[in-house]
């Protein structure tokens, strides 16, 4: 049986520090970038971004803390976050001026009075200089009549909070070639173009020039850390630490400029490149890809040569995980509601098959689970790729880890994801080499720019509100916060009580879904047009396959494969709502369309009897009842087909079905619905049934959600299940959970994740948070400490139906 070994004292000490340090805000990056932007208005585009990055690498303080072996910082204090004013900043200044940042009920950050004063004095510059402000200038004129739909969530100001992020670099190129070789290649390309810049040659030249600058930046940053290690080594009196510092200095002085030589080099190079990517692009869903695949060759070579012990390698991996866990990024308060718990989405992928189709499990796969299981961190999240040949020992280790580590890892199905990626244009070998981004989004690892979060902001689509607009003549029935009701924002499809057949209802819903998919994609494509001018990513493009060949940045379509992602939410609610309307109004005719319409417009006030009847007698998605499951299929087909048929500047769009916790946030602004849901309450989560409506056990739920054609959703699907801990207390319980996952995957399921925790425990944790400090729970594509979640998010997890094995 799989067992956890204890951590070293050093790892335990750092973990304790991580768990007790309150996140704070560091202005070091902000100061450097603000000065640079103010002093260099003459620079624009990719060159501005490249030089901005080089400038950061030259100036940002380098820290090497006692106990650290793997180094790299975005900030100058432990668990502090950097600021990225060139992305979006107005919301930050507003929250800062209001004084809410250290006090807010989710993800608060400390900030010093001096920093607050400085930011408020200098920040206004960014209100018009940030990308968000630039994007707002480009909002299409017609959208002003469609905003406020509650279907697509873009407003008309501050629309763009996150134009970059959600990607993975080609770490194998960074590890095996290094930025010295990349720089040399770019210089060669430049010299070929000198004096011969015909056609778009100047643009390509400029791209290669940017690559040389950012490569230089990475090498400088690494060298500065090497110098700091050497400086500390000279002062160090403890001979063991002195030797270690010299080893670190040697590694940091070598990597980046040269190919990695050892497991230590490889981890350090991977982490410092990640720090570079975050410093450049802002830390948002920047994922690590197939870490076990990158590291195993280095580990096995070191082990064979006697250069490392398994214990030392495990400690290095632990230290790497702790470095990832300490990284933070402050989000606008409203955005935090849809992704609480300080997650940064630096997802790691493990397991699966190799490019040539063999089982990819290796010793590092197990070491990664070991680190997650024994450290109990909120980040990094991990996704385990499952295929028919996944070895039993890996299953065993993964189930044990998910039990103790709050839903880490998630389980992903190669048999559905690989064909789904091929359908969006990846060749077989590349599809087999996929990794997961952010939460659950599949992407070619190092050769695709899939932009799974969309360009602009997290890109969610509320199917339930499309339904509500469809039966309300295009009006959003949810009043604005001031109580006012706006005009029509959708298509004039009529009112439910005017529709004579159920087919008319379906047709109206289809029209609204397609109409808003059209708007959503128009807006995100617009954001991309603006962002690709101002926010190119040469440091990423330096390694991603295709860019060096084409001489184009990923943001300009330089990657070998391209797509843009979107995700829909409220699948359970729209399925149940359609079923209620069909069966009660148009088949049984036991409720008139007018009565049902009036009931939801009144938020069920005075209609509790009808609501109870719907909750308890109407068919609900999630119980293996084809009469209602068919509507989950229908609605997701309409949405998925519309998204998948759309194109962006770089290629096609890819639909997904996952919510982060947007289902809680968007539920707050969604009116009552025919499935018995009251206004303002959470929507259903991922592709899960409506909370508490899956009453027929997990096998029935899994059969229901398998009705959705999941391979159509190459941007990912997400299914949460919560089991009582007794479920996994015995070996046979674990075997049965494995059989449950495998059967779901046989039925066409793409992803599955678990919380193995009882409602009683969660309630106790609410009452006595100090006793449950380390209780990690699964939220969506990430995990968090339960006691750090805001109340509505806690309640949402408790409301997930608890299953027994």
Partner 1 sequence: MAKELTGKVYDIQGFSIQDGPGIRTTVFFKGCPLTCPWCHSPESQSFAPQLSWLAARCIGIDTCGRCLPLCPRGALSPGERVQRPGTGEEIRLVRIDRSSCDVCGACARGCYPKALEICGTDYTLDDLLARVLRDRPFYENSGGGVTVSGGEPLCQPKFVLPFLEKLKEAGIHTALDTTGHVPADVVQGALAHTDLFLYDIKQMDGALHRAATGVSNERILDNARLIAAGGGKIQIRVPVIPEFNDSDAAIREIGVFCLSLGAAVEMVQLLPYHNLGVVKYQRIENRGKVLEAVPPSEARMHELVALLKSLGLDATLH
Q: How far is the CB of 497 from partner 1 (least distance, A)?
A: 23
Which range touches partner 1 (CB under 8 A), out of 8-16, 34-42, 478-486, 615-623? 615-623
Minimum CB separation of residue 396 from partner 1 in Å reads 16
Angle between helices 463-470 and 502-534 (to 10 degrees): 130
C-alpha–C-alpha distance, residues 665 and 659, integer Å: 10
Structure tokens at 725: 């801990």
Binding of partner 1 by 612 (CB under 8 A): yes
Closest among 456, 423, 450 to 438, alpha carbons compared:
450
Q: Look-up: residue for tokens 């018995």?
A: 676
What DSSP string describes 459-489? -EEEHHHHHHHHTBTT---SPPTTS------
Question: Cβ 415 to partner 1, closest distance in Å?
Answer: 14
Determine how many CB atoms are found less than 10 A away from the CB of residue 619. 19
Q: What is the dihedral of CA 407, 412, 413, 419, to 10 degrees?
A: 160
| Interaction between residue 630 and partner 1 (CB under 8 A) | no
Quick one: which of 222, 213, 245 has its CA closest to 67? 245
Name the one range near partner 1 by CB under 8 A: 479-487, 500-508, 580-588, 740-748.
Answer: 740-748
| Contact pattern for partner 1 over residues 646 through 685, marking x by CB under 8 A | ----------------------------------------
Of 78-86, 392-400, 732-740, 786-794, the window that binds partner 1 (rule: CB under 8 A) is: 732-740
Q: Is 608 in the site for partner 1 (CB under 8 A)?
A: yes
Which of these, 25, 155, 135, 15, lies nearest to 86 by C-alpha position?
135
Which of residues 133 and 747 has its CB atom nearest to partner 1 in the complex? 747
Interface segment toward partner 1; rule CB under 8 A; list 196-204, 512-520, 536-544, 605-613: 605-613
Query: Strand locations in 714-750, DSSP E?
Result: 720-723
> CB 458 → partner 1: shortest distance, Å?
33
| In contact, 130 and 502? CB cutoff 8 Å | no
d(CA 429, CA 357): 8
- Please state the length of the chain: 805
651-654 vs 647-648, strand pairing mode: antiparallel
> Least distance from C-beta 803 to partner 1, angstroms?
7
Q: What is the 3-state secondary structure (H, E, C) of 575-615?
A: HHHHHHHHHHHHHCCCCCHHHHHHHHHCCCCCCHHHHHHHH
Q: Output the CA angle 165-167-170, nearest 5 degrees.
A: 140
Give the C-alpha distances (Å, rounded to integers) separating 407 from 280, 437, 754, 781. Answer: 31, 17, 5, 9
Shortest gap between Cβ of 392 and partner 1 (angstroms)? 14
- The 10 Å Cβ neighbour count of residue 803 is 16
**Which one of the spans 33-41, 177-185, 610-618, 791-799 is the region binding partner 1 (CB under 8 A)?**
610-618
Residue 167 CB, shortest distance to partner 1, in Å, is 36
Binding-site string for partner 1 from residue 689 to residue 708, where x marks contact by CB under 8 A and - marks none: -------xxxxx--x-----
Cα atoms in the Cβ-side hemisphere of radius 13 Å centred on 763: 4
Binders in 747-776 for partner 1, by CB under 8 A: 747
Cβ proximity to partner 1, 554 vs 727, nearer residue: 727
**Shortest distance, CB of residue 726 to partner 1, whole angstroms?**
11
Report how far residue 293's alpha carbon sits from residue 353's, in angstroms, rounded to the nearest whole number: 10
Residue pair 455/531 in contact by the 8 Å Cβ criterion: yes
Nearest approach, Cβ of 580 to partner 1 (angstroms)?
Answer: 13
How far apart CA 526 and CA 127 sit, in angstroms, is: 20
Cβ nearer to partner 1, comparing 157 with 730:
730
Q: Per DSSP, what are the bridge partners of residue 351?
A: 385
**Which of 615, 630, 668, 759 is in the footprint of partner 1 by CB under 8 A?**
615
C-alpha span between 420 and 644 (Å, rounded): 12
Q: Minimum distance from CB of 697 to partner 1 (Å)?
A: 4
Residue 732 C-beta: closest distance to partner 1, Å: 8
Say what the alpha-carbon torsion angle 502, 507, 512, 514 is, to the nearest 10 degrees.
140
Of the residues 31, 177, 355, 613, which one makes contact with partner 1 according to CB under 8 A? 613
* Preceding omega of 586 cis (within 30 degrees of 0): no
**Which residues make Cβ contacts (< 8 Å) with residue 3, sequence separation at least 6?**
none
Give whichever of 40 and 766 is closer to partner 1, judged by the CB atom: 766
Residue 352 vs 749, nearer CB to partner 1: 749
Q: How far apart are CA 326 and CA 18, in angstroms?
A: 6
Secondary element (H or E) of residue 90: helix 90-98
- 8 Å CB contact between 331 and 89: no
- State the Cα–Cα distance between residues 668 and 792, nearest whole angstrom: 10
C-beta of 386: minimal distance to partner 1 in Å? 13
Based on the shown chain and the rule CB under 8 A, indicate whether residue 799 belongs to the binding site for partner 1: no
Count of residues engaged in binding partner 1, rule: CB under 8 A: 26
Our finding on whether 21 is near partner 1 (CB under 8 A) is no
Exactly one of 76, 116, 743, 766 binds partner 1 (CB under 8 A); that residue is 743
The rounded distance, in Å, linking the Cα atoms of 250 and 324 is 22
Minimum separation from the CB atom of position 702 to partner 1 (A): 8
According to the binding rule CB under 8 A, does residue 617 interact with partner 1? yes
What are 410's strand-pairing partners? Answer: 383
Helices and strands, counts by H and E, the chain: 32, 20
For partner 1, the closer CB: 183 or 711? 711
Q: How far is the CB of 385 from partner 1 (least distance, A)?
A: 19
C-beta closer to partner 1: residue 601 or 803: 803
Kindly state whether residue 742 participates in binding partner 1, applying the rule CB under 8 A: yes
The smaller minimum CB distance to partner 1, of residues 572 and 698, is found at: 698
Least gap, CB of 611 to partner 1 (angstroms): 9
Tell me whether residue 724 is exposed, middle or buried, using C-beta atoms within 10 angstroms of its C-beta: 0 to 12, 13 to 18, 19 or more.
middle
Site membership for partner 1, residue 746 (CB under 8 A): yes
Sole binder of partner 1 in the list 609, 627, 731, 771 (CB under 8 A): 609
Which of residues 261 and 742 has its CB atom nearest to partner 1 in the complex?
A: 742
Closest distance between partner 1 and the C-beta of residue 747, in Å? 6
- Interaction of residue 43 with partner 1, rule CB under 8 A: no
Name the residue nearer to partner 1 (CB basis): 615 or 668: 615
Strands (E), 222-356: 289-290, 348-351
Q: What secondary structure does DSSP assign to 133-149, as a single string?
A: HHHHTT--GGGGGTTT-
Our finding on whether 740 is near partner 1 (CB under 8 A) is yes
Compute the distance between CA of residue 358 and CA of residue 736 in angstroms, rounded to an integer. Answer: 26
Closest CB to partner 1 among 560 and 611? 611
Of 359, 415, 735, 795, which lies in the binding site for partner 1, with binding defined by CB under 8 A? 735
Sign of dihedral through CA atoms 161, 163, 168, 169?
Answer: negative
User: Does residue 591 interact with partner 1 by CB under 8 A?
Assistant: no
- 181 vs 615 by CB, closer to partner 1: 615
Taking the least distance from each CB to partner 1, the nearer of 727 and 775 is 727
Site pattern 113..152 for partner 1 (x: CB under 8 A): ----------------------------------------
Nearer to partner 1, 53 or 723 (CB): 723
The residue among 21 and 747 lying less far from partner 1, judged by its C-beta, is 747
Facing residues of 562 across strands?
Answer: 449
Q: Which residues bind partner 1 (CB under 8 A)?
A: 608-609, 612-613, 615-617, 624, 696-700, 703, 732-733, 735-736, 739-740, 742-743, 746-747, 803, 805
């Amino acid at each position: 049986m799989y067992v956890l070994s204890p951590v070293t004292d050093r790892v335990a000490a750092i973990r304790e520090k991580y768990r007790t340090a309150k996140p704070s805000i560091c202005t070091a990056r902000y100061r450097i970038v603000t000065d640079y932007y103010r002093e260099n208005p003459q620079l624009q585009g990719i060159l501005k971004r490249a030089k901005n990055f080089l400038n950061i690498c030259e100036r940002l303080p380098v820290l090497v803390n006692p106990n650290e072996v793997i180094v790299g910082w975005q900030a100058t204090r432990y668990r502090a976050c950097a600021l990225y004013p060139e992305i979006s900043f107005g919301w930050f200044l507003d929250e800062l001026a209001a004084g809410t940042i250290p006090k807010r009920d989710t993800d608060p950050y400390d900030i010093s009075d001096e920093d607050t004063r400085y930011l408020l004095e200098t920040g206004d510059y960014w209100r018009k200089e940030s990308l968000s402000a630039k994007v707002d200038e480009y909002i299409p004129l017609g959208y002003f009549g469609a905003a406020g739909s509650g279907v697509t969530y873009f407003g008309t100001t501050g629309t763009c909070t996150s134009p970059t992020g959600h990607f993975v670099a080609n770490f194998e190129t960074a590890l095996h070639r290094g930025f010295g070789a990349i720089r040399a290649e770019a210089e060669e390309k430049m010299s070929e173009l000198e004096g011969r810049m015909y056609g778009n040659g100047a643009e390509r030249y400029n791209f290669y020039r940017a690559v040389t600058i950012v490569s230089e930046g990475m090498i400088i940053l690494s060298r500065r850390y090497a110098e700091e290690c050497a400086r500390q080594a000279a002062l160090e009196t403890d001979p063991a630490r002195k030797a270690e510092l010299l080893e670190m200095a040697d590694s940091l002085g070598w990597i980046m400029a040269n190919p990695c030589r050892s497991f230590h080099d490889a981890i350090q190079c991977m982490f410092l490149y990640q720090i570079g990517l975050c410093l450049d692009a802002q830390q948002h869903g920047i994922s690590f890809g197939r870490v076990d695949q990158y590291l195993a060759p280095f580990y096995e070579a070191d082990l064979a040569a006697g250069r490392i012990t398994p214990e030392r390698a495990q400690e290095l991996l632990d230290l790497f995980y702790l470095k990832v866990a300490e990284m933070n990024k402050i989000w606008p308060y409203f955005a935090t509601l849809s992704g609480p718990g300080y997650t940064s989405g630096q997802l790691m992928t493990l397991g699966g098959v190799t490019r040539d189709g063999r089982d990819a499990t290796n010793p590092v796969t197990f070491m990664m689970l070991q680190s997650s299981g024994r450290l109990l961190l909120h980040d990094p999240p991990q996704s385990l790729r499952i295929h028919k040949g996944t070895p039993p020992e890996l299953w065993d280790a993964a189930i044990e880890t998910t039990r103790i580590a709050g839903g880490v890892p998630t389980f992903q199905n190669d048999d559905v994801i690989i064909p789904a990626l091929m359908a969006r244009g990846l060749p077989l070998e590349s599809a087999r080499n996929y990794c997961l981004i952010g939460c659950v989004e599949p992407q070619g690892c190092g050769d695709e720019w899939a932009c799974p979060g969309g360009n602009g902001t997290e890109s969610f689509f509320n199917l339930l509100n499309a339904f509500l607009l469809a039966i309300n003549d295009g009006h959003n029935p949810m009043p604005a916060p001031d109580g006012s009701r706006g005009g029509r924002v959708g298509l004039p499809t009529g009112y439910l009580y005017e529709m004579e057949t159920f087919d008319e209802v379906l047709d109206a819903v289809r029209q609204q879904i397609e109409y808003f998919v059209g708007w959503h994609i128009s807006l995100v494509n617009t954001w991309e047009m603006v962002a690709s001018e101002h926010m190119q990513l040469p440091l990423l493009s330096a390694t991603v396959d295709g860019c060096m060949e084409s001489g184009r940045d990923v943001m300009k379509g330089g990657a070998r494969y391209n797509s843009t992602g979107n995700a829909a939410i409220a699948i359970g609610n729209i399925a149940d709502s359609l079923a209620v309307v069909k069966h009660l109004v148009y088949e049984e005719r036991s409720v008139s369309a007018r009565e049902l319409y009036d009931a939801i417009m009144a938020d069920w006030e005075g209609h509790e009897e009808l609501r109870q009847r719907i909750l308890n007698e109407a068919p609900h998605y999630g119980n293996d009842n084809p009469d209602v499951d068919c509507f989950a299929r229908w609605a997701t087909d309409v949405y998925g087909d519309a998204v998948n048929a759309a194109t962006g500047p770089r290629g096609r769009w890819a639909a997904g079905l996952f919510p982060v916790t947007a289902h809680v946030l968007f539920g707050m602004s969604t009116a009552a619905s025919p499935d018995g849901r009251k206004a303002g309450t959470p929507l259903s989560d991922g592709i899960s049934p409506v909370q508490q409506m899956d009453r027929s056990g997990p096998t029935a739920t899994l059969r229901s959600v398998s009705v959705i054609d999941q391979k159509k959703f190459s941007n990912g699907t997400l299914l949460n299940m919560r089991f009582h801990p007794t479920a996994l207390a015995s070996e046979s319980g674990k075997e049965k959970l494995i059989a449950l996952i495998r059967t779901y995957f046989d039925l066409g399921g793409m992803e599955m994740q678990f919380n193995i925790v009882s409602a009683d425990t969660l309630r106790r944790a609410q009452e006595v948070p100090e006793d449950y400090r380390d209780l990690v729970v699964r939220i969506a594509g990430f995990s968090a400490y339960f006691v750090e979640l805001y109340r509505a998010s806690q309640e949402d997890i408790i409301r997930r139906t608890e299953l027994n094995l």
